[in-house]
């Protein structure tokens, strides 16, 4: 076996092993893992070709739902989507190694993959049920084959890259931004402009089948070809408007301005991120063939930064940065070599040792610190931690609801929590749609009044008590004419049981 193949095999095993360490303890939390899994379950019950927002995908890309739906035929709902993420997360090391080796050699490829192995944000994405791991794999496959097409112009590498872009676009919408960006690269990189136009146009055309299909379906179903994008933009615009009052507006702008660099520094670790940035700076001058990769990292980050910091109509989240942050990895050794040439061997060795230590210790410390901790600081850090655990009280409440309500076949009314804890509780309690009324769903009041449920779950920050027909007085919760007594409390969750005749106070 050639040395590069042996190195890749060892690196693949390392990437998988790191993720297997946390896989047994991680839970669905971020990346809309729970809604995605539930929608995949709904699709698996009636498999069909999803054609629009309202046809079963909502604001999500349908490809991830197909993959999870297929996995659900074999694995439990707690594991199916996580195993899909684990598979594609571990496979991502292959295109990272191939692309980095092409531009910078085997040594750079090895260190890029080592840094990738311990990247805490990706460890979480690879062991929970969001779509980030799948999308990142597809994007790196596109980048790797696109690189091959640039080096030896032929339609096959560009066609494979375009196929990967179609699949990535069917998984996450941020992949759509890369289609025009990559299509322009040959015109910029090649001196033969005629050939550049032909191959750029070919790549763009081969990237269009899925976006065209999806836009046509949404235009027919919702009257707008980009309806899912307008829905997502509207959600972020409303979210930003809700948060931007007084000094918070300037905090949001400052956060948006520095979000992408901060995510690189915190999630990759300061040493790896800084060396990657140094490498990009050096490579821009010394390796013009890699300039398109640098633009692929910077341009989308600049677009979202402008929206978050200037327009204030977008709220960035850590998982939105994975593609751009990962593009620092191929440049790490180049950055170290640049530093070595200017500062000498002793300083460069010291920097390497510090960078390696931080890359290992930061995700380890962060994972331990946030694991099963629910105080404010841990909650703030959980989105970038390798470990992903729900609030313990919510999980305890879910176990109680499953044992006392769901398993015996009782009916349930579920409050709507402003932080989506009702979504998490409903999933882990395994509530069924036929015996549950959710305030988050349409027709809640009519359903409850027509058939008062046996139990009610209330949240401290829920919306149920805001309803004019619902009251809570002296420990008695009333929904219309049905009264409920408190059965169990798991702050911030309260479980009520429908009052029996024996429990009603006797009137004088």
pLDDT in tens, the chain (508 residues): 568 999 999 999 999 999 999 999 999 999 899 999 999 999 999 999 999 999 999 999 999 999 999 999 999 999 999 999 999 999 999 999 999 999 999 999 999 999 999 999 999 999 999 999 999 999 999 999 999 999 988 999 999 999 999 999 999 999 999 999 999 999 989 999 999 999 999 999 999 999 999 999 999 999 999 999 999 999 999 999 988 888 889 999 999 999 999 999 999 999 999 999 999 999 999 999 999 999 999 999 999 999 999 999 999 999 999 999 999 999 999 999 999 999 999 999 999 999 999 999 999 999 999 999 999 999 999 999 999 999 999 999 999 999 999 999 999 999 999 999 999 999 999 999 999 999 999 999 999 999 999 999 999 999 999 999 999 999 899 999 999 999 999 999 999 999 875 555 555 4
Could you give the CA distance from residue 491 to residue 101 in angstroms, rounded to a whole number? 52
Collapsing DSSP to helix, strand or coil, 474 comes out as coil
C-alpha–C-alpha distance, residues 284 and 487, integer Å: 65
C-alpha 380: how far from its chain's center?
16
DSSP string over 368-395 = HHHTT--SHHHHHHGGGSS-----HHHH
Q: What angle do CA 278, 283, 286 make, to 5 degrees?
A: 130
Tokens of 507: 């009137």
Burial class (CB in 10 A: 0-12, 13-18, 19+), 43: buried
For the entire predicted model, the pTM comes to: 0.95
Task: Residue 438: name the closest of 408, 419, 466, 417 by CA.
Answer: 417
Half-sphere exposure of 423 (CA within 13 A, CB side): 17
């Amino acid at each position: 076996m050639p040395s590069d193949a042996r190195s890749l095999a060892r690196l693949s095993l390392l990437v998988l092993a790191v993720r297997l360490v946390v896989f047994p303890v991680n839970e669905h939390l971020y990346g809309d893992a729970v809604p995605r899994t539930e929608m995949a379950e709904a699709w698996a019950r009636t498999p069909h070709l999803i054609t629009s927002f309202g046809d079963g995908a909502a604001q999500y890309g349908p490809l991830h739902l197909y993959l999870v739906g297929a996995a659900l035929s074999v694995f439990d709902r707690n594991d199916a989507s996580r195993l899909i993420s684990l598979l594609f997360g571990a496979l991502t090391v292959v295109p990272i190694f191939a692309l980095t080796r092409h531009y910078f050699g085997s040594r750079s490829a090895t260190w890029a993959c080592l840094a990738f192995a311990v990247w805490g944000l990706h460890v979480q994405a690879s062991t929970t049920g969001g779509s980030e791991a799948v999308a990142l794999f597809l994007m790196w496959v596109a980048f790797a084959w696109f690189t091959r097409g640039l080096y030896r112009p032929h339609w096959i590498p560009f066609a494979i890259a375009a196929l990967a872009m179609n699949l990535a676009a069917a998984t996450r919408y941020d992949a759509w931004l890369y289609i025009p960006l990559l299509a322009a690269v040959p015109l910029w990189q090649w001196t033969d402009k005629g050939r550049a136009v032909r191959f750029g146009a070919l790549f763009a055309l081969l990237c269009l089948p899925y976006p065209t299909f999806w836009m046509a379906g949404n235009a027919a179903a919702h009257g707008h070809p980009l309806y899912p994008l307008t829905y997502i933009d509207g959600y972020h615009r409303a979210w930003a408007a809700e948060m931007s009052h007084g000094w918070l507006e300037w905090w949001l702008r400052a956060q948006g301005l520095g979000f992408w660099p901060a995510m690189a520094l915190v999630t990759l670790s300061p040493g790896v991120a800084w060396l990657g940035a140094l490498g990009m700076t050096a490579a821009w001058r010394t390796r013009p063939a890699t300039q398109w990769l640098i633009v692929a990292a910077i341009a989308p980050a600049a677009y979202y930064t402008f929206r978050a910091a200037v327009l204030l109509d977008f709220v960035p989240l850590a998982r939105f940065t994975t593609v751009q942050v990962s593009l620092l990895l191929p440049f790490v050794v180049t950055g170290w070599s640049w530093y070595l040439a200017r500062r000498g061997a002793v300083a460069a060795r010291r920097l390497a040792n510090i960078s390696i230590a931080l890359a290992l210790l930061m995700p380890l410390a962060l994972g331990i610190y946030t694991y099963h901790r629910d105080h404010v600081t841990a909650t703030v850090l959980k989105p970038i931690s390798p470990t992903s655990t729900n609030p313990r009280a919510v999980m305890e409440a879910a176990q109680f609801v499953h044992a006392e309500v769901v398993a015996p076949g009782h009916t349930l009314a579920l409050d709507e929590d402003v932080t989506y804890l009702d979504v998490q509780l409903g999933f882990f309690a395994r509530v069924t749609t036929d015996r549950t009324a959710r305030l988050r769903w349409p027709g809640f009041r009519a359903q409850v009044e027509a058939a008062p449920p046996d139990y009610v779950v209330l949240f401290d920050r829920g919306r149920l008590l805001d309803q004019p027909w619902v009251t809570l007085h002296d420990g008695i919760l009333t929904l219309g004419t049905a009264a409920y007594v408190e059965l169990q409390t798991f702050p911030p969750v309260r479980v009520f049981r429908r009052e029996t005749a024996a429990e009603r106070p006797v009137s004088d």
